[in-house]
Amino acid sequence: MTTTKLLAGLLLAGACGLAAADASVKLVNGAMVAGNGMTVYTFDNDKSPGASMCSGPCAALWPPVMVAAGEQPSPPYSVVTRTDGGKQLAYKGKPLYLYKGDQKAGDRTGDNFKDVWHIVKD
């Protein structure tokens, strides 16, 4: 298992009830997960590097993985500024999200959702 530690300021979207205590994402069983074990996803409609196309009702179902203001993760991670001014974590230029439908750590129920949402494999 490969673990990539991010800056201590990494915050995860509260819409999934996630705690910001563990500031890491890591690969577990072939998929990237947040510090609490929840699966991390990308969205195919995020075509421009550094831009999120998921806001409003989309972001309620697919909460963005957020970064504290002023924090700058190390490559291959980066920060995307959302339309609301929030700072979202990106991996290789792709904004990262959680899925509200995932009920427990290790769930991957959002993978291939409508053929545009995918787990991060690396």
Torsion of CA 75, 51, 36, 121, to 10 degrees: -70
- Domains contained in the chain, number: 1
The model's pLDDT over 3-48, given as tens digits with 9 standing for 90+, comes to 333 332 333 333 333 333 234 688 888 899 998 899 999 999 998 8
Range of the domain at 85: 3-119
pTM recorded for the entire structure: 0.80
> What is the share, in percent, of the chain residues with pLDDT greater than 70?
80
| Phi, psi torsion values for 103, nearest 5 degrees | -95, -25
Query: Could you tell me the two tokens for 111?
Result: 């993978």
